[in-house]
Each structure stands twice: as C-alpha cells, then as structure tokens.
C-alpha cells in the first residue's frame, strides 16, 4: 500500500462539520492519502512522511464535486432546439420524446461510449461522484439497459421511467403509470439505488408522482424528484412528505414550499445551468438558504434543457445569478451534493473519507466564480 502526502496546500476546503464554519477552511495545509482514503489532515509544517509527495505549490484544494443530478445515457443531439429557444421559443417537456426515439434505436455500445465521454468530461472539470438517471428508454427493455449502462460508471443509479409519458401512451397515461410501477419497476429496481419522477406540466401530476415514488420506496429505492421547474405545484411538498433525499429544480417555490424544505430533511437541489439554457428565472436559492434549507448544486447534464457537464460553470451561475457566496456555492456542489445522495464518505475532507480531491489552478475557490469559463482544474486526485 502506497501513501501519498499532498502538502503546500495554500487553502484547503474541508467542509468538516465538526469544525463549525460551513467550508471549514485551513491555510497552509496537507493531506495524506492511502488506498483511496484520507488518513491524515493538518498543517503542512507538521505533516508526516509518506511514500510519495505532491507539492500543491500554494494552490487551493477542495473536495471533488458531487454532481447529484445528470441524465447521461442517451443518443443524439438537440442543439437545434436550443438554437430555436435562444431566438424566442419556449422550453417544453415534450422534447424529451425526441431523445427517447434516438436512444431506443442506439446500440448498447453507442450509449455506453457517449456516457463514458460525458463522465470523462465531468471528471476533467472536477466531478468525482456523479448520479446518472435513466429516462430516455421509457419501456421496460430500454429503461433496464439504460440503468445497466449507468451502472458501468457509478453506484448512484436512478430509475426515471417517469420522465415523460412516451408517445405510444399519449391516450393512456394511467396505463403508463401502471407499467412504470409494475413490470418496468420489477426489471429496474434491482439495478438502481433511486427512483425519480418528473412532476411538472407536460410530465406527471402530483398524484401520479406519489404513486410512482411510493411504489419505488416499497421496493427499497430512495426517492428523488424533479419538481417546480416549469411552474408552481405541490410537488416540492410531496417530496418532503415522502422523505425524498432531494427535490430538484425548485425554480418556482411558494412560501409553503420554502417552509417545508426548511423544516424537513429533503435537500433542495438547484440546477442553474437549466435556467441559463432555457432562459428561465433562476431559483431563489438565497431565500432557501436564509430559511434554513439545505441546498445542493448539480449540473442536470442532459441533451435538452441543459447540456453542460461543468459544475464550475454552475457554481459561477449560483454566485452571479442566485446570490450565493462563493463558499456557499462550493459547499452546495460538494457536501450539499453528498447529502442529496445520502453519502457521508464524499464531499468532505476528513480522516476516513474518500480521497476525492480537486486541486485548482488558483489560490482560492473564489476563482471558480471570479474566472467563469476558465479551466481551473489543475489535477483531480
């Protein structure tokens, strides 16, 4: 077993909740890593010897990003839709059906290689944990194989058969909910950790969402939810009521939604790349944090509403457009994402945690927002 000392860290974000402050930062710090785990954290001057040494040269080191919301198993491209939106067309949930057709026609190898490309793109931008959803198969065979492909890249696998109602069920949405909670769930539950539903205009209503999430929970899956993206609904409160790990988007929030998120354990995950790419108003993440809710930031990387794989870009948006401080945004994209996935081993730099570290080509994480669009990831460990 080889130990590695990373010293000369100018600024280390630990997010260690035992320290007290949000990002629990240390200056002139060092970390020792052994067998993929962190075995020591402290001052650079007092660091123990190790087999190998990496000199951070005064750079900032943060936990690897935990991107808790992505849709990477798909085929095709919808850049034409994006182009049309940018010259005035509105985003609607129905575009998903286009990707469904292309995904069903794609081979396993083509889907896996597209997913691999996107996972590599994410990693190069500092993401070390990623959640991947199905949701472009929308029949039993294609949902099950999408999950198998997701499983080649992550353990955070989410069954999203309830993304939209596929074209062949347009006249029978109730029949589709029956399929999702019956035969499709039977095939998919053993391959997934999570169940998700898109609860919004043009997708599934609150009653359908309840039926679908409870069916998944009864099979041992954790619940997560897309809600409040396209308009106000009772979806956010349903997620809290059902004990979902996370409710994602939260673009439209009522006072009651904010109260529910502040008092419950469900994380509010904001996806500011979506608002950027659909030209929608940004979620009021500032209000959520001030109310006491836990906020995570994720990419929602998908071919329709937001095709960025870059968490640094989302951090910059969160700071610029949603008025989070840089520290709050970095916490939300690391420890916040970990909470949204019920993970205690990532998002934190402390003894016994996974050694998922990102060294920035900058003296501070503030540069992630201060220098938007600049490749600041020096090294991913």
Binding site for Zn ion (CB under 5 A): 300
CB 69, CB 298: distance < 8 Å: yes
SS3 211: helix
Q: Which CB, 275 or 300, lies closer to Zn ion?
A: 300
Annotate 22-56 with three-state secondary structure: CCCEEEEEEEEEECCEEEEEEEHHHCCCCCEEEEC
- Comparing every residue's Cβ against Zn ion, the nearest one is 300
Q: Answer for the pair 32, 341: CB distance below 8 angstroms, yes or no.
A: no
Of the two residues 131 and 257, which places its CB atom closer to Zn ion in the complex? 131
In this structure, are residues 162 and 100 in contact, taking their beta carbons and an 8 Å threshold?
no
3-state class (DSSP) for residue 215: helix
CB contact at 8 A, 122 and 67: yes
Q: How many Å apart are CA 360 and CA 295, to the nearest integer?
A: 23
Return d(Cα 315, Cα 324) in angstroms, integer: 9
Provide, rounded to whole angstroms, the least separation between the CB of residue 132 and Zn ion: 11
Question: In sequence order, which residues have a C-beta less than 8 Å from that of residue 314 and are 6 or more positions away?
Answer: 271, 272, 273, 297, 298, 299, 308, 333
Residue closer to Zn ion by CB (options 300, 328) is: 300
Name the burial class of residue 167, with classes exposed (0-12), middle (13-18) and buried (19+) by CB atoms within 10 angstroms of its CB: exposed
**CA 246/CA 296 separation, integer angstroms:** 9
Question: How far is the C-alpha of 206 from the C-alpha of 200, rounded, in Å?
Answer: 8
Judged by beta carbon, residue 12 or residue 165, the one nearer Zn ion is 165
Q: Shortest Cβ distance from residue 102 to Zn ion (Å)?
A: 18
Residue at token pair 């994209």: 333
Q: Name the residue nearer to Zn ion (CB basis): 253 or 362.
A: 253
Least separation, in Å, of the C-beta of 71 and Zn ion?
A: 6
The nearer residue to Zn ion, 66 or 362, going by C-beta atoms, is 66
297 bridge partner residues: 270
CB 243 within 8 A of CB 265: yes
Cβ distance to Zn ion smaller for residue 50 or 203: 203
Shortest distance (Å) from residue 50 CB to Zn ion: 41
284 vs 300, beta carbon nearer Zn ion = 300
Cβ at position 302, least distance to Zn ion in Å: 6
Least Å distance, CB 325 to Zn ion, is: 26
Nearer to Zn ion, 200 or 300 (CB): 300
CA angle at residue 83 from 280 to 101, to 5 degrees?
95
Q: How far is the CB of 323 from Zn ion (least distance, A)?
A: 23
Min CB(300)–Zn ion separation in Å:
5
Q: How far is the CB of 226 from Zn ion (least distance, A)?
A: 5
Query: H or E element: which one contains 3?
Result: strand 3-13
Instruction: Identify the three-state secondary structure at position 93.
Output: helix
């Amino acid at each position: 077993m080889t130990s590695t000392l990373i010293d000369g860290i100018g600024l280390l974000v630990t997010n260690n909740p035992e320290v007290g402050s949000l990002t629990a930062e240390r200056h002139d710090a060092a970390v020792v890593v052994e067998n993929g785990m962190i075995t020591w954290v402290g001052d650079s001057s007092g660091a123990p010897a190790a087999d190998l040494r990496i000199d951070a040269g005064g750079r900032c080191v943060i936990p690897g990003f935990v991107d808790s919301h992505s849709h990477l198993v798909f085929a095709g491209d919808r850049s034409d839709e994006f182009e049309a939106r940018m010259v005035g067309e509105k985003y609607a949930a129905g575009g998903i059906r286009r990707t469904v057709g292309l995904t069903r026609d794609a081979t396993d190898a083509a889907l896996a290689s597209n997913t691999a490309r996107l996972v590599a793109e994410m990693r190069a931008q500092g993401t070390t944990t990623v959640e991947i959803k199905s949701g472009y198969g929308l029949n039993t065979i294609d949902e099950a194989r999408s999950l198998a492909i997701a499983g080649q890249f992550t353990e955070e696998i989410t069954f999203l058969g309830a993304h939209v109602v596929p074209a062949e069920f347009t006249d029978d949405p109730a029949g589709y909910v029956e399929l999702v909670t019956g035969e499709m769930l039977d095939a998919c539950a053993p391959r997934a950790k999570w169940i998700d539903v898109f609860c919004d205009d043009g997708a599934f209503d609150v009653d359908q969402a309840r039926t679908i999430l409870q069916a998944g929970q009864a099979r041992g899956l954790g619940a997560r939810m897309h809600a409040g993206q396209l308009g106000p609904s009772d979806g956010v409160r349903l997620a809290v009521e059902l004990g979902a790990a996370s409710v994602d988007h939260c673009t439209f929030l009522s006072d009651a939604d904010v109260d529910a998120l502040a008092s419950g354990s469900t994380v509010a995950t904001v996806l500011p790349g979506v608002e950027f790419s659909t030209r929608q108003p940004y979620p009021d993440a500032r209000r959520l944090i001030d109310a006491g809710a836990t906020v995570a930031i994720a990419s929602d990387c998908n071919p329709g509403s937001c095709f960025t794989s870059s968490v640094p870009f989302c951090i910059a948006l969160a700071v610029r457009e949603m008025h989070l401080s840089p520290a709050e945004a970095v916490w939300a994209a690391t420890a916040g994402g970990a909470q949204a996935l019920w993970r205690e081993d990532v998002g934190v730099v402390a003894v016994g945690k996974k050694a998922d570290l990102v060294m920035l080509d900058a003296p501070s994480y503030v540069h992630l927002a201060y220098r938007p669009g600049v490749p600041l990831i020096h090294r991913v460990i």
